[in-house]
Structure 1
Amino acid sequence: MSSHVRKIPMSRLNLFSPDVRENPYPFYAELRRSSPVCQVDPNGMWVVTRYDDLMSAFKNTQVFSSAGMRVATEPPYLRRHNPLSGSMILADPPRHGQLRSLANRAFTASTVSLLEQHMRSTASRLADGLVQRRVVDFIPEFASRAQISVLAKLIGFDPSLEKHFERWTTDLVSVATVSPEDHARLDEVRNTIDEMERYMLDLLAARRRQPENDLVSDLLRSQVNDDATTDQDLVSLLFLLLVAGLETATSLMTHMVLILAQRPAWMDRLRAEPALIPRFIEEVLRFEPPVHATMRLTLTETEIGGVRLPAHAVVALLVGSGLRDETRFQDADRFNPERREQANLAFGHGAHFCLGVFLARTQARVVLDELLRRCSRFELRADRLEWNAVLNTRCPVALPIEVIPTTYSAARERPTIQGVW
C-alpha cells in the first residue's frame, strides 16, 4: 500500500450500527472533515463521502466498476444465478449502453404522461383510505401499494400479487447481507429467485401469445428486430424494474410524509403555494435521497480524495453524505425547499444516471397533490422509528402516523398541480 493511504483508527465506523442507521448524518460530517475516503465496517469496505469525489467516481466507470459488484447479488454461497446480476445497474460500458437502450422503452415522456391519470386515481383512492382509517402505517397502506400499482400498469404485472412483490423485493435486496451460515434464510432467497424467474418467464410467454398495451409486449416486439436480446436480458430488466422501482419510490414517498410530519407548517405552505411543490420534492431528494449509497469495485489501483485505493477494493459511494456536503450546499443539514443549489446526485450521475427520474418526480408530485387535498397534517405515532438494514437505501421499516383530515372543502376544489422540472 502507498504511503498516501489514510491511517484508520482501531475502532472504525460501522455503517450498520443502530446509532448510525438512526441518524447517519453527524457521522458522515465527521468523515468528510477528518477521513473523507476511508475504510469502515462491515468488512472494511471503503467509503467516499464528499460531493466532488462522488461525482468523479460516478464519471470514472473504467476504474469504479458496477459490473465488479455482481458478487454482492450473486455471492458464491448463493449457488444459483441471480437475474438481477445481469441487469444494467450491474454492467459497465459498452454492455451497460446496450441494456440501457432496452430499458429506455419504459421511461419515455409519453409513457409517463399516459400513466399519470392512473397514478392520480390510485393516489386518490389510497389517500381516501388513509383519511377513513386515520391511524395507519403509511408504508404498507399507501407508499408500497401506490408504487406496485404503477409498476403493474407500466410493466404488465398482475397487481393481485402485491404481497409477493413486497416479499420478492425484500429478499432480493438482502442477498448481500445474508450470512453464508444462515442456510434457512439462503433457502428462502433461492426460492424467491426461482419463483420470480418462473413468473417473469411465464409473463413473457403469455404476452407472446397475446400482446397487450404494456412494457413487456413492447419489449417482445423489439426483440423480434434484435436477435441479440435474449429472454434472460428481459427477465433481468424486469427484476431490476420491480426491485429498484419499488424500493426507491416507496422510500421517496415515505420520506416526504415523514418530513411533513416533522415540519407541519410546510403542509399549509404547499397548499397556499402549490408552485413550491416541485422544489419541495427536490429538497426531499437531497435531504433524504432514495438511493443512499451505491457500490463500486475498483478495477485498478487509483487515487481519489487524496487517498490511494488498491485494486479490487469494494467502495460505497455515500450519496447521502455528498448531498449534505457543506462545501456544496449552504446550511446543508437544514431542510430548505427554497435553496438555490441543484442536487442531481440523488439520481446518480454519468452513465448510470437513473432512467426513472421523470417517472419518480411525476409520481411524487401527484401523490403530494392528492395527500394535500385530503390531509391537514400528519402526526407521528412512534417515539422512535426503526430503520432498515440495507446499505443502498435508508428508510423506516414502518411509519405509524395519524392523519388529520382537511376541514375545508376548498382543498378538494383546488386545480391539480402541473409541476415542471
Structure 2
Amino acid sequence: MNSRLNLLAPEVRDNPHPYLAELRRSAPIVQVDPGGIWAVTRYDDAQYVLKSTQLFSSEALRMAMDPDWLGRPNPIAESIIFLDPPKHGRLRTLISRAFTPATLTQLEPRIRAVAEGLADRMMEERKVDFVDGFAMPIPATVISWFLGLDPSLRRHFKRWSNDIAAIGGALPGDTELMEQCRRTVEEMEQYLQGVLADRRKTLGDDMVSDLIRVRVDGESLTDRELMGFLFLLLVSGLETTANLLSQSARMFAMYPELLPRLRENRALIPRFIEETLRVEPTAVATLRTCTQDVTVAGVNLPQGSMVLVSLASAARDEKHFPDADRFILEREGTPSLSFGHGSHFCLGSMLARLEARVALEELVSRVDRLELRTERIEWTPSLTVRGPQSLPVELYPV
C-alpha cells in the first residue's frame, strides 16, 4: 500500500476484508489510521498479543472509549474489559455467575417464545428491517430479563448500543455524532442510576441486585464499578447477538442454498453460526497498549504504543483457514478469535450462541428465501465492532 490505511474510511468500513488481506500479505504489523495505531493482522500474532497480558494492557480501549470530547467520564471505561489481571479476574468471576449452563438452559424456552413471535410477525409483513424486526429485539428482551429492566425501554436499547459503540470511532469534526454520543451517555447514566437506587431500596432476583449484594475481597462494588458493569452488560449484550443475527441474514442472502440446508438439518445451525462468526465477526478488533518495548514478528513496538488486534483479519488468515474468503459450512480446524482469546474471552459467548441458535431454528423453519432490499449497508461507525445499522430484507415463506 502506498499510503497508510485508514480503518474508518468509508470504503474500508463498507468492506474491510480486501484491505486487511493486503496487510496480511505485505505488512502484517503496521501503523494505520486513525492515530497511527499498530495493526496486528495475522492469527498467530493476534493470539500472542491477546494472551500476553503482561506485555499488552487492556487500558488502550479505555482511552479510546473515554475521549476528552465526551465532556464526562464514560462509565463503560470502568468496566472489566479495560482491566488487567489480577483485578480483572476477581471482577470477571462476578459476571460469570450469570452465565452458567443451568441458567442458559432455563432461558431457552423463553428465548424461543420471543423468536417465534418475532418470526411470525416478520412473515406477515414480508418486507422488513431485519435489525429492528428480529436481530435487536431478541437480545434486548434477554438483557432486560437479566438486569430486571423495564421492558418498555427496549426501544431505546438499539440507539444506546450504537452510540456507545460509536464513541471509539468518532472522527475529528464529526460534531453531530459527538453530541449524540454525549446525550446518550448522560441519558443511560441517569436511567441506570435510578435502577440502582430502586434496587438498593428493594433487592430483587436479577443481576443488578446480585451486583449490589456481592463483595470482592470483603468490599462492595463502588458506584463507578456498578455503573461500568451495567453499561457493559447492556451494550455488549445487545451488540454481540444483534450483529451475529444480522450477519446471518446477510449470509442467507449471499448463499441462498444455506437456508434449505439448515431447514432440512437443523443440527447444522451451530456450524453455520461459527462460520458466520469467522467470516463476519461481531467484534472486528480489540485494542491493547504495550507495557514495555516489545518485538512481535520482527517488528519493534515501543512502550506505550497502541495496538489494534484485528480479529476480522485473523479470522481470514490463509495459514489457518484455507480458502478463507469463502463461507464453508463444513469448515473444521482452527477456532476463530471472534469472541477473543485468553483472560478476556467473551463471557457472554455461550449466551450469544444460544440466542442465535434458537432464533435461527425458528427463522429457517419459516423462510425459504431471503433477499436484501438495499445495495449499500450503513455500518456501525466503530473501530471495534461492525454490524448493520439497518438491514432491509424481503422474506419468502416456505
- Which of the five TM-score ranges fits, normalised by the shorter chain? over 0.9
2:373–2:393 CA contact under 8 A, matched in 1: yes
| 2: CA distance, partners of 1:290 / 1:152 | 21
In structure 2, the residue matched to 1:397 is 389
User: 1:339 Cα deviation (Å)?
Assistant: 1.2
Could you say if the C-alpha distance between residues 79 and 247 of structure 1 is closer, same or farther in structure 2, counting changes exceeding 3 Å? Answer: same
Cα distance, 1:63 vs structure 2: 1.7
Query: Residues 225, 302 of structure 1: CA spacing in aligned structure 2 closer, same or farther, 3 A cutoff?
Result: closer
TM-score, reference length from structure 1 = 0.90
Deviations along 1:280-337, one digit per CA (max 9) or x if unpaired, are 1111111111111111111211111211111211111000000100001111111012
Q: 1:61 pairs with 53, 63, 75, which one?
A: 53
Partner of 1:246: 238
1:123 maps to which residue? 115
Aligned to 2:338: 346
| CA shift for structure 1 position 246 | 1.0
Higher Rg of the two aligned structures: 1
Q: Residue type matched to 1:139 in 2? A: V
C-alpha displacement at 1:122, in angstroms? 0.8
Whether 1:96 and 2:95 are equivalent positions in the alignment is: no
Alignment correspondent of 2:315: 323
Corresponding residue for 2:300? Answer: 308
2:243/2:282 contact within 8 Å kept: yes
Equivalent residue, structure 2, for 1:151: 143
Distance in 1, Cα, partners of 2:375 & 2:174: 32
Matching residue within 17, 21, 24 for 1:25? 17
Q: 1:383 aligns with which of 375, 378, 385?
A: 375
Q: Which runs of 5+ in 1 are unaligned?
A: 1-8, 407-421
| Gaps in structure 2 of 5+ consecutive residues | none
Identify the match of residue 29 of structure 2 among 24, 34, 37.
37
Q: Where does residue 103 of structure 2 map in the other structure?
A: 111
Q: 1:204-223 residue pairs with structure 2 within 5 A?
A: 204-223=196-215
Deviates more, 1:250-259 or 1:38-47: 38-47
- Give the stretch that moved more between structures: 276-285 or 171-180: 171-180
3-state SS in 2 of match to 1:338:
coil
Query: Would the aligned equivalents of 1:87 and 1:99 in 2 still touch at CA under 8 Å?
Result: no
Q: Is the partner of 1:174 in helix, strand or coil?
A: helix
273, 276, 285: which is aligned to 1:281?
273
Q: Alpha-carbon deviation of 1:187?
A: 4.2
Q: Structure 1 400/329 Cα, relative in aligned 2: closer, same or farther at 3 Å?
A: same
User: For residues 284 and 342 of structure 1, what CA distance do their matches in structure 2 show?
Assistant: 15
AA of the residue aligned to 1:113: T
Query: Does the 8 Å contact 2:169/2:383 carry over to 1?
Result: no
| Residues 184-223 of structure 1 aligned to structure 2 (within 5 Å) | 185-223=177-215
Give the Å deviation of 1:205: 2.2
Say if 2:147 and 2:207, in contact at 8 Å, map to a contact too. Answer: yes
The Cα of 1:96 is off from its aligned counterpart by 0.8
**8 Å CA contact retained: 2:90, 2:216:** no
* 3-state SS of 2:214 partner: helix
CA contact (8 A) 1:105 1:215 kept: no
1:185 Cα deviation after fit: 4.7
* 2: CA distance, partners of 1:115 / 1:281: 19
Q: 1:24, 1:397 → 2: CA distance?
A: 17
Give the share of equivalent positions with the same residue, in percent.
47
Return the offset for 1:147.
1.1
Change (3 A) 1:184 1:31: closer
What's the RMSD between the two structures over aligned residues? 1.8
Q: How many Å apart are 1:46 and its aligned residue?
A: 1.0
Q: Distance in 2 between matches of 1:82 and 1:135?
A: 38
Contact 2:162-2:380 within 8 A present in 1 as well? no
Q: Give the structure-2-normalised TM-score.
A: 0.95
| 2-structure distance, mates of 1:70, 1:243 | 15
* Corresponding residue pairs, total: 398
Partner of 1:267: 259
* 1:238 positional shift: 0.8
Q: Is the 8 A contact 2:138 2:355 kept in 1?
A: no
The 10-residue stretch of structure 1 (21-30 or 82-91) with the greater mean CA deviation from structure 2: 21-30
Cα 1:316/1:385, change in 2 over 3 Å? same
CA contact (8 A) 2:136 2:238 kept: yes
Matching residue's letter, 1:99: L
Pair 1:339–1:231, CA change in 2 (3 A) = same
Query: Kindly tell me: are residues 185 and 388 of structure 1, through their superposed partners in 2, closer, same or farther at Cα, counting changes over 3 Å?
Result: closer
